[in-house]
C-alpha cells in the first residue's frame, strides 16, 4: 500500500462509502477492487498525472465523459486524455493548488458494471463548504478481467455537474 493509498483507504473503509448490498458477487475481492478503483481516480486527479488516465478509463472509443468544465459529450480515450491535459494534467503529474475529494459515495451493481455516485468537492478542504466548487458525479465502472482473482475496473462513463454557488 503506497502513501497515497494509506490516506484514502482507511477513510473509505471507515464508512465514507455507503455500501448497498447487491448479492454474493458484491463480496470480498470485488468490493475491495471497486473501493481501490474510486480511490485511485481521486489520487490521480490530485496528482494531475496524465500517465494514469489509461489505467483509469477504458482505452478505446467506447469511453464517454460529460464534464462540468465544458459542454458536450467527450467520446473516446484520445478525447478523454486531451480533456485531462486541458484540466492541467501532465505526464508524471503536475502541481495542484486545489484538492479534489468526494463524499456521500454510493455504488450499485445492476449488472456486469458498477454505478458509483458521489458529491465531489474541489478547492481548499479547510475552507467553508460553500466556498468550494462542488456537484454531483456518476461514474460507471466496467469490470475487466475474467476471473475473480484478477479483477479490475475501468471507467466506461463519467458525468460531472456543478452546483450553483
Q: How many CB atoms lie within 10 A of CB 161?
A: 13
Residue-wise over 59-93: b if at least 16 C-beta within 10 A, else e?
A: beeebbbbbbeeeeebebbebbbebbeeeebeeee
Q: Which three cell numbers stand for residue 51?
A: 500517465
Q: If pLDDT is split at 50, 70 and 90, which confidence band does 22 have?
A: very low
pLDDT tier at 39 (50, 70, 90 boundaries)?
Answer: very high
Does residue 40 or residue 18 have the better pLDDT?
40
Predicted confidence at residue 94, as pLDDT, reads 94
Average pLDDT over residues 41-47: 95
CATH class of the domain defined by 20-160 = alpha beta
Structural domain boundaries of the chain? 20-160
What stretches of the chain show up as alpha helix (H) in DSSP?
3-11, 28-47, 53-56, 77-86
- Put the strands of the sheet holding 73-75 in their side by side order: 17-18, 99-108, 113-123, 133-144, 152-160, 64-66, 73-75
Backbone angles phi, psi at 117, to 5 degrees: -120, 150
State percent of the chain over pLDDT 70.
Answer: 79
More confident residue, 57 or 13: 57
Confidence tier at 144 by pLDDT (50, 70, 90): confident
Amino acid at each position: 500500500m503506497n502513501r497515497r493509498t494509506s490516506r484514502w483507504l482507511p477513510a473509505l473503509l471507515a464508512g465514507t462509502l455507503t455500501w448497498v448490498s447487491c448479492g454474493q458477487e458484491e463480496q470480498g475481492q470485488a468490493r475491495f477492487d471497486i473501493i481501490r478503483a474510486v480511490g485511485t481516480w481521486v489520487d490521480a486527479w490530485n496528482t494531475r498525472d496524465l500517465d494514469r488516465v489509461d489505467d483509469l478509463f477504458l482505452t478505446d472509443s467506447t469511453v464517454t465523459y460529460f464534464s462540468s468544465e465544458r459542454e458536450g459529450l467527450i467520446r473516446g480515450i484520445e478525447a478523454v486524455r486531451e480533456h485531462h491535459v486541458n484540466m492541467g494534467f501532465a505526464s508524471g503529474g503536475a502541481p495542484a493548488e486545489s484538492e479534489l475529494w468526494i463524499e456521500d459515495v454510493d455504488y450499485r451493481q445492476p449488472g456486469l458494471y458498477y454505478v458509483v455516485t458521489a458529491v465531489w468537492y474541489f478547492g481548499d478542504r479547510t475552507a467553508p463548504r460553500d466556498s468550494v466548487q462542488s456537484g454531483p458525479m456518476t461514474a460507471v465502472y466496467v469490470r475487466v478481467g475474467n476471473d475473480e482473482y484478477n479483477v479490475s475496473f475501468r471507467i466506461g462513463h463519467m458525468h460531472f455537474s456543478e452546483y450553483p454557488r
